[in-house]
Chain A
Amino acid sequence: MRQSEEDREKLGAPPAHESYLTDGTTVMSWLNTRDHKRVGVMFLVAVVFFLFLGGVFALAIRMKLLYPGPFLFDALTYNRLFTLHGVTMIFLFMIPAIPSAFGNFVLPLMIGARDVAFPRLNLASFYVYLAGAVLAVWAMVHGGADTGWTFYTPYSTTTPTMLFPLLLGVFIIGFSSIMTGINFIVTVHTLRAPGIGWMRVPLFVWGIYATSVIQVLATPVLGLTVLLVALERVLGFGIFDPARGGDPVLFQHFFWFYSHPAVYIMVLPAMGVISECVATFSRKNPFGYKAIAFSSLGIAFVGFFTWGHHLFVAGQSVFDNGVFGVLSMFVGIFTAVKVFNWVGTMYRGAISFKTPFAYICGFLFLLVFGGMTGVALATVALDVHWHDTYFVVAHFHFIMVGAVIMGFLAALHYWFPKMFGRTYHEGWGLVAASLIILGFNATFIPQFLLGNNGMPRRYYQYPEHFQALNVASTAGATLLGFGFIIIFIYLVIALRWGPRCEQNPWRSKGFEWLTPSPPPTHNFDKIPHITQDPHDYRTHAPSGVYTDV
C-alpha cells in the first residue's frame, strides 16, 4: 500500500474510496455520463452480453453438427443461426470490444488526458451502437437473414427472409464505429500530456490509433454497401442484378473493401493489448518500440490493398487475382515483425506468469498459426481448393478467437484492477485460461482437417465420414464455453467481493497505472508531465515523473 499512497500524495488524489464509480450513483448519472471511463464500462457490459449471445448461437450450430443428417432444427433455422452468429460476433462484439470498452477507459489515462476529445460524441457512440445492435438482433430473431454475415448478392437481394431491418442495424452500428474512430484519432493528436511526444505514446495507443484510422476510412464503404443492398431489395435499383446489366461480384468488391480492413480493426487493438502485457509481465522494455508502433500503421495501411483475396474464386479477373495475391503477402510481414518483437521482449525477461500472461501465450501460438494459414489461403492456387471450406472457417477463428478474444481476455484481466479496484482469483484465472486455450484448439484444429478434406462451410448436412471430426470440434466448443462461463463467474464475484487492490498490482510502468485504481472522475488533479518512455523497465530509468504544470 505504501507506494500507492505515495503516488496518491504526489498526485494530490482523493482518498481511495472516491472514484469514477462512486461519483454519482443514480442510473441517470451513468446514462448521461460524459466520463470516458463510464462509457467504457457500459460498452464492456454490452459487448460481453453480445459475446455470450454469439456464443449461444455458436453452440447451437455445433450441436446440430454432431450429426450429419437433420437434427434439432431445420436447414433454414441453421442458416439463420450462422448468420446470427456471424453478425453478432463481428458487428456487435469484435469490432467494438477492445476499442470501445478498453480503449475508451484506458487511452486517455495513457496519454495523460482528462477525457477523450469529444465526450458527448463518445456517449452518443454508445447509444448509436446499442440502437443498431437491438435492431439487428430483433431483425435476426424475427424471421430475418439466412444469407450469412457476408450478405452476398444475388441471394441477399432476392431472399424472402427479412433483411431490411438487419441491414439498417448494421448501418447504424457503422456510425458508432466511425464516431469512436474520429474521437480517438483527435484525442491522440490533441490531448497528449506534456512530455508525451509521438514516440512516447504507449503501444496500446498506437494500436488503437491505427484501428481508428481503419474505422474512419473503411466503415463508410460498408454503410454504402448495405444501403445499396437494401435499396435493391426495396426499390429494385438493380445495381447488382445481372438481368439489368449489374454485376453481383461488384457487391463482393464493396463488401470486402470494408470487411478485410475490418479484421484489422479487430486484431490491431488485441495486438496493442499484447504489447502492453508482454512488456509488463516480462518486466522488460519492448524489443523494438518503433518497429511495433510503425507496423501497426503498416498493417492498417496495407490491409486496404488486399480485399480481393476474398474474391479469388468469385469470378474476379486473373489479373486482379495476381495483384491481390501478391499484396496479401505483405500484410504478413508486419505481423511477423510484431511477433518477433514480442518474443524478443520476453526473451531473458523476468516472466511473471499471471493470467494475462497465459493469454499472451495462447495469443502468440494461435496468431502465428492463424496468420500462417492466412498466408497459405492468400495463395490463389491453394485457395481454389480451400475456399468456402472449413479450412477458411478454422483460419479466421484462429485469428478472431485465438488472437482477438485472447487479447480481449488479456485486457479484461490486466485492466480489471484498474477499472474496478479489485483483484480476481488468480488460480481460477489460470484454470479458465487453460480451458479456453485447450478448448479452442480442440474446436478448431479438427476444422482445418475437415476443410482440407473438403467439407464445405455453412452446410446443414455433411457426408458421414466427416462426423468424427465434427464431434471432436463440438466437444472442444463445449470446453471453450465452460471456460467462458468460469471467467464470467469469478469476475462477477470479484466485482462484488474481490479483495481491494493497490494502485499498481502488476508493478507496470504503463502510464495508466499512475492514477489510482479505480481512477477519479477527472483522472488527474494535475496533468502529469512525463519524462520517461512508456514500458521502461530498466532499473536505472528515472522513476519520478511528475512536475507541476
Chain B
Amino acid sequence: MTENGEHHSALPYFIVWVALVILTVTTYRTGRMHLGTWALPLALTIAVTKSLLVILFFMHLWEQKGANRIVIGTSFVFVALIISLTVADVATRFPLATPAGAPFGSDIPAQLEEPAPEYQPPAGKIGEPPRGVPEPK
C-alpha cells in the first residue's frame, strides 16, 4: 500500500516465474543424473535460489521493511541450527548407538564377510598391566 513503485507492469512476475521453471527443470535433470555426494548440496543450492526468488519478488520482501527480513532470516538461521546440531549428534555417535546400528548401505556391510576372529586375552599375569596394551595416561 505504501509502495508506489513500478507496479504498472506485471512483467517482473513473469520473469521470476520463468526463472523458477528453469530452475525446476535444472533440479529435475541434475537429480536424475546421480551425482553422488554433490547431489544434495546442488539440490539445496537450487532450492535456496528458488526460494529466494519467491521470497524477494513474489512476497515483495525486497521492498519491505527491515523487521520483516530479520524475522524470516532469523527463522531460517534457527532451522539451520536445529538440523546441524541434531545431525551432528547422530553423525558423531558411537556407531552402535545410532538408529538400528546405522549407517546401513554404506561401506559397513550388513553381514561380515568372514567370521569374527576369536578373542585372545592380552598377554601377562593377572594383577600386572597387560603387555601389548597401551599404558593408561
List chain A residues, Cβ under 8 A from B38: none
Are A318 and B92 in contact, with the CB atoms below 8 A?
A: yes
Q: In the assembly, what is the distance between CA of A338 and CA of B91, in Å?
A: 37
B102 interfacial by beta-carbon distance below 8 Å: yes
Tell me the nearest residue of chain B to A320, going by C-beta: B89
Q: Which chain B residues (63-93) contact chain A, with CB distance < 8 Å? A: 67, 74-75, 78, 81-82, 85-86, 88-93
Tell me the nearest residue of chain A to B68, going by C-beta: A189
For the complex of A and B, list the 8 residue pairs with the smallest distance between their C-beta atoms, beginning with the closest.
Answer: A319-B92, A317-B92, A317-B93, A247-B99, A245-B100, A320-B89, A253-B86, A317-B89
Tell me the nearest residue of chain B to A316, going by C-beta: B89
Are B81 and A221 in contact, with the CB atoms below 8 A?
A: no
B97 interfacial by beta-carbon distance below 8 Å: yes
Query: Interface code B100-129, partner A: CB below 8 Å = 1, 0 otherwise?
Result: 101000000000000000000000000000
Are B78 and A304 in contact, with the CB atoms below 8 A?
A: yes
Query: A217-B74, A217-B75, A317-B94 are contacts. A242–B85 as well, Cβ < 8 Å?
Result: no
Are A257 and B82 in contact, with the CB atoms below 8 A?
A: yes
List chain A residues, Cβ under 8 A from B100: 242, 245
Are A320 and B81 in contact, with the CB atoms below 8 A?
A: no
List chain B residues, Cβ under 8 A from A485: none
CB distance from A44 to the nearest CB of B (A): 29
Are B92 and A315 in contact, with the CB atoms below 8 A?
A: no
Chain A residues with a Cβ closer than 8 Å to the other chain, count:
23
List chain A residues, Cβ under 8 A from B89: 249, 253, 308, 311, 316-317, 319-320
A72 interfacial by beta-carbon distance below 8 Å: no
CB distance from B93 to the nearest CB of A (A): 4
List chain B residues, Cβ under 8 A from A316: 89, 93
List chain A residues, Cβ under 8 A from B74: 217
List chain B residues, Cβ under 8 A from A323: 85, 88
Are A242 and B78 in contact, with the CB atoms below 8 A?
A: no
A246 interfacial by beta-carbon distance below 8 Å: yes
Query: Interface code A536-548, partner B: CB below 8 Å = 1, 0 otherwise?
Result: 0000000000000
Tell me the nearest residue of chain A to B86, going by C-beta: A253
Tell me the nearest residue of chain B to A247, going by C-beta: B99
What would be 9 A-B contacts, judged by CB atoms less than 8 Å apart?
A: A249-B89, A253-B82, A253-B89, A316-B93, A317-B93, A317-B97, A318-B92, A319-B89, A320-B85
A305 interfacial by beta-carbon distance below 8 Å: yes
Contact of B88 (CB < 8 Å), options: A217, A221, A305, A319: A319
List chain B residues, Cβ under 8 A from A317: 88-94, 97
Tell me the nearest residue of chain B to A261, going by C-beta: B78
A493 interfacial by beta-carbon distance below 8 Å: no
Are A315 and B81 in contact, with the CB atoms below 8 A?
A: no
List chain B residues, Cβ under 8 A from A304: 78, 81
Total of A-B residue pairs, C-beta within 8 Å: 50
List chain A residues, Cβ under 8 A from B86: 250, 253
Q: In the assembly, what is the distance between CA of A217 and CA of B67, in Å?
A: 15
Are B88 and A320 in contact, with the CB atoms below 8 A?
A: yes
CB distance from B107 to the nearest CB of A (A): 19
Q: In the assembly, what is the distance between CA of A425 and CA of B40, in Å?
A: 67
Are B93 and A305 in contact, with the CB atoms below 8 A?
A: no
Query: A221-B82, A253-B86, A308-B85 are contacts. A320–B99 as well, Cβ < 8 Å?
Result: no
CB distance from B2 to the nearest CB of A (A): 13
Tell me the nearest residue of chain A to B78, going by C-beta: A217
List chain B residues, Cβ under 8 A from A319: 88-89, 92
Q: Which chain A residues (212-266) contact chain B, with CB distance < 8 Å? A: 217, 221, 242, 245-247, 249-250, 253, 257
Query: Residue among B85, B90, B93, B94 with the most chain A CB within 10 A?
Result: B85
List chain A residues, Cβ under 8 A from B99: 242, 245-247
New A-B pairs, 14, CB < 8 Å, besides A317-B89, A317-B93, A323-B88: A217-B75, A242-B99, A253-B89, A257-B82, A304-B78, A304-B81, A308-B85, A311-B89, A316-B93, A317-B88, A317-B90, A317-B94, A320-B89, A324-B85
Query: Interface code A345-387, partner B: CB below 8 Å = 1, 0 otherwise?
Result: 0000000000000000000000000000000000000000000
Q: Which chain B residues (46-65) contact chain A, with CB distance < 8 Å? A: none
Q: Which chain A residues (45-90) contact chain B, with CB distance < 8 Å? A: none
Tell me the nearest residue of chain A to B99, going by C-beta: A247
List chain B residues, Cβ under 8 A from A311: 89
List chain A residues, Cβ under 8 A from B97: 315, 317
CB distance from B115 to the nearest CB of A (A): 26
Q: In the assembly, what is the distance between CA of A253 and CA of B75, in Å?
A: 18
Q: In the assembly, what is the distance between CA of A315 and CA of B98, in Å?
A: 9
CB distance from B92 to the nearest CB of A (A): 4
Are B92 and A320 in contact, with the CB atoms below 8 A?
A: yes
CB distance from B81 to the nearest CB of A (A): 6
List chain A residues, Cβ under 8 A from B88: 317, 319-320, 323
Query: A245-B102, A253-B86, A304-B81 are contacts. A315–B75 as well, Cβ < 8 Å?
Result: no
CB distance from B96 to the nearest CB of A (A): 10
